[in-house]
Amino acid sequence: MKKTFAILASLLISFSALADEGMWLPSLISQRIADMQAKGFKLGAEDIYSINQASLKDAVVLFGGGCTGELVSAEGLLFTNHHCGYSSIQKLSSVEHDYLRDGFWAMTRDQELPAEGLNVRFLERMEDVTSQVLDGYSLNMTESERSELVTRNSEAVKKAAVAEGKGLRASVEALYYGNQYFLFVYRQYDDVRLVGAPPSSIGKFGGDTDNWMWPRHTGDFSIFRIYAGKDNMPASYSEENVPYTPKKYFKVSLGGVKEGDFTFIYGFPGSTREYIMSEGVRYISEISDPAKIDLRTKRLDILKRYMDSSQKIRIQYSSKYASISNAWKKWQGEAKGIDKMNTVAEKQAFEKRFIQWAKGGRYEGLVERIGGLYERLVPYDFAREYYNETVRAVELINFASNWPDGNVDAFYKDYHMAADKECFVALMNAFKDNVPEQFQPEYFKNGLASYGSVEAWADEIYGKSVFADEKAVASLSKDASLDSDPAREFAKEFAKWYSETIVPVITVINSELDLAYRDYMRGQMEFQKDKTFYPDANLTLRVAYGHIAGYSPSDGVYYHPSSTVKGIMEKDNPDIFDYNIPQRLRDIYAEGGHEDQPVCFIATNHTSGGNSGSPVINENGDLIGLNFDRVWEGTMSDIVFDPEFCRNICLDVRYLVFVVREIGGAGHILDEVEFTN
């Protein structure tokens, strides 16, 4: 009896596990809609994606080429994350108007600030074009002949698709390792203006300390508006442009969320690898992640020491530090999560069964072949990653290598040479110690022999390179010959080694891997007939659904799924940059009545980088939040999803409303939004 119950319970768990994992193609959502409805969703498949009528997809945009945004009014008003709008807000800022520090609120439409270079894309339609893309393919083609054919056919498909109208952009993307191809047709709008942003002390509250972590209290939102020509079609910036009228926009729910509520995320996840072989996972979790974490720890330690020593350096390096630490932290969670889930061993066991099943058929020997390819790839890929995280991570070397590209003033404004030199020494010593000798450039080995040490070499570069002298660089002629400049030479020689000895091998192996994975993907689908597959993320529009849920990060601890302003006050500390909140928030809180003001929540939706800013939608299709992060214990979900630990972190839209009205004093911005309860 007990045993039956245990089996039943484990069946139930694995069923619900399957249910919350997945990033589904909107045009195929009819295959999932019954499950979504069984879990509480009240709308139908055509409400999510339709080419015949306005649907929710028309209210979602690819924002700035790497994030997601959503339309929330009939006049083109758009919400996304603060960290997605960050670089636009920064570019619009100056010493007199520091919108990052102080926030920005347009009091009238005239005050909305054009964000140059920013665009948004609406998905017009998506379509399976596999047969067109593979037209002319025959089995005896080599992989490179096949990929030439795919490129040629895709170009023709894209060309036909964009001929239809203004601002159209098309891409053809491979799904399931090229077993399927989809056409995506977007309409791109280039006149996008900043409407509102909270001060960073709200929009980035918790900074890198809280990044990738729960409990979270970040007001990670910014507000923009899309402008169009008088015909509502894309137009480059002009005073004549008018607010864009969307086919569809979200109503904003003030009804609140509670544990168990249905949630649905609509957005553009960037990249996942759920179907790779155990060897691929082992490389990531046991070799690549630890090596990169170690290199970044070295840099972060050095930078932190300098930043703690001077306010000026802290400002110069805060954004660089943030971007170094973002992936650094994610990799730690990822490697740990993969280890905890025993994914390598699980995959190995699966592969054993697969090999058994494949005997005598077309998939015989495939897994072994992929294993062999990894064996060849790994040392080269390790050298590639090491190069990227060392040589290319040194600011001076990078700048010297790109010159005359790159903005001289901008570079030196945020450059502190002593810190960079220390990074050079630490990183290149690691290169010397950890990259196997036969994979190191001869140039490097010879240089080390003649200088005697990385330190001595650093003295030469940082003492003699023209790039170590801002004034000298400013007066350099663009065609000056710099072949003997030690920084330039270092960059060039490494680049040469990289492109001549590392890249060609990786390219060849990767193309064999592509081919093998195409088979392996199909093989997995044939082998696991009852499993529901979803294509790996590739920055195309996806639906992920789940529910609001807390989790237990470790024994004896349970994390509730929502956070409140009370938690902000608990963290508030004027002496700690990441936790120093605006005085106005302290004052409002002191008045009382705001203890329970919601701030963030977590849910079980399967998301990835690129889902930042994605609308979080309730059972009625109304907006309840903005996705902006994942919990640290669940960042392995790009490789393997664990329903127990994988949670996405969302801004509760009611905090957005609170901040706009109470902190920004800009409630008028939300007058055009339709609220529901």
Interface map 598-637 toward ligand ARG (x if CB under 6 A): -----------x--x----------------x--------
Q: Which of 600, 579, 589 is nearest to 216 (CA)?
A: 600
7 burial type by CB count under 10 A (0-12 exposed, 13-18 middle, 19+ buried): exposed
Residue nearest to ligand GLU (CB): 612
610 binding partner (options ligand GLU, ligand ARG, none; Cβ < 5 to 8 Å by kind): ligand GLU
CB of 628 to ligand GLU, least distance (A): 6
Q: Closer to ligand GLU at the Cβ: 285 or 612?
A: 612
Q: Work out the number of other CB atoms within 10 angstroms of the CB of residue 470.
A: 15
Residue 611 touches ligand GLU, criterion: CB under 6 A: yes
Among 516, 608, 654, 673, binds ligand GLU (CB under 6 A): 608
What one-character DSSP code corresponds to residue 533? P
What angle do the packed helices 289-309 and 311-341 form, to 10 degrees? 160
607 binding partner (options ligand GLU, ligand ARG, none; Cβ < 5 to 8 Å by kind): ligand GLU
Query: Containing H/E element for 460?
Result: helix 454-464
Interface map 32-71 toward ligand ARG (x if CB under 6 A): ----------------------------------------
Q: How many Å apart are CA 263 and CA 615, to the nearest integer?
A: 10
Query: In sequence order, what E strands does 509-633 have?
Result: 542-547, 562-564, 598-603, 615-617, 623-630
Chain positions 369 to 408 lying near ligand ARG, rule: CB under 6 A, are none
Three-state secondary structure call for residue 537: coil
Residue 604 touches ligand GLU, criterion: CB under 6 A: no
Q: How many Å apart are CA 270 and CA 637, to the nearest integer?
A: 13
Asked if 317 and 303 count as a contact pair (C-beta separation under 8 A), the reply is yes
163 burial type by CB count under 10 A (0-12 exposed, 13-18 middle, 19+ buried): exposed
Among 193, 612, 617, 621, binds ligand GLU (CB under 6 A): 612
User: Which residue out of 47, 210, 220, 638 is catalytically annotated?
Assistant: 220
DSSP codes joined into one string, 123-136 = EEEEEE-HHHHTTT
What one-character DSSP code corresponds to residue 284? I
CB of 67 to ligand GLU, least distance (A): 6
422 binding partner (options ligand ARG, ligand GLU, none; Cβ < 5 to 8 Å by kind): none
Kindly state the number of chain residues that form the binding site for ligand GLU, as judged by CB under 6 A.
Answer: 10
The stretch near ligand GLU (CB under 6 A) out of 15-23, 359-367, 455-463, 625-633 is 625-633
Residue 212 touches ligand ARG, criterion: CB under 6 A: yes
- Paired tokens of 577: 């940059």
Asked if 79 and 656 count as a contact pair (C-beta separation under 8 A), the reply is yes
272 binding partner (options ligand ARG, ligand GLU, none; Cβ < 5 to 8 Å by kind): none
Interface map 49-88 toward ligand GLU (x if CB under 6 A): ------------------x---------------------
Own/partner long-range contacts of 53-57 (Cβ < 8 Å, ≥24 apart) = 54/247, 54/248, 55/248, 56/248, 56/250, 56/266, 56/617, 56/621, 57/26, 57/123, 57/248, 57/266, 57/541
Residue 319 bears catalytic tag: no
Residue 16 bears catalytic tag: no
Q: Closer to ligand ARG at the Cβ: 125 or 320?
A: 320
The stretch near ligand GLU (CB under 6 A) out of 223-231, 331-339, 581-589, 608-616 is 608-616
Asked if 634 and 647 count as a contact pair (C-beta separation under 8 A), the reply is yes
242 binding partner (options ligand GLU, ligand ARG, none; Cβ < 5 to 8 Å by kind): none
Q: Closer to ligand GLU at the Cβ: 234 or 610?
A: 610
Residue 210 bears catalytic tag: no
CB of 544 to ligand ARG, least distance (A): 16
Among 83, 298, 488, 547, binds ligand ARG (CB under 6 A): 83
Q: Based on C-alpha coordinates, what's the Rg of the chain?
A: 26
80 binding partner (options ligand ARG, ligand GLU, none; Cβ < 5 to 8 Å by kind): none
Residue 205 touches ligand ARG, criterion: CB under 6 A: no
Q: Work out the number of other CB atoms within 10 angstroms of the CB of residue 378.
A: 17
Quick one: how far is CA 285 from the chain centroid?
Answer: 19
CB of 649 to ligand GLU, least distance (A): 8
Chain positions 304 to 343 lying near ligand ARG, rule: CB under 6 A, are 322, 326
- CA distances to 139, 153, 171, 172, 636 from 131, in Å: 14, 10, 16, 12, 34
What residues line the site for ligand ARG (CB under 6 A)? Answer: 83, 207-208, 211-212, 322, 326, 609, 612, 629
What residues line the site for ligand GLU (CB under 6 A)? Answer: 67, 607-612, 628-630
Catalytic machinery residues: 83, 220, 612
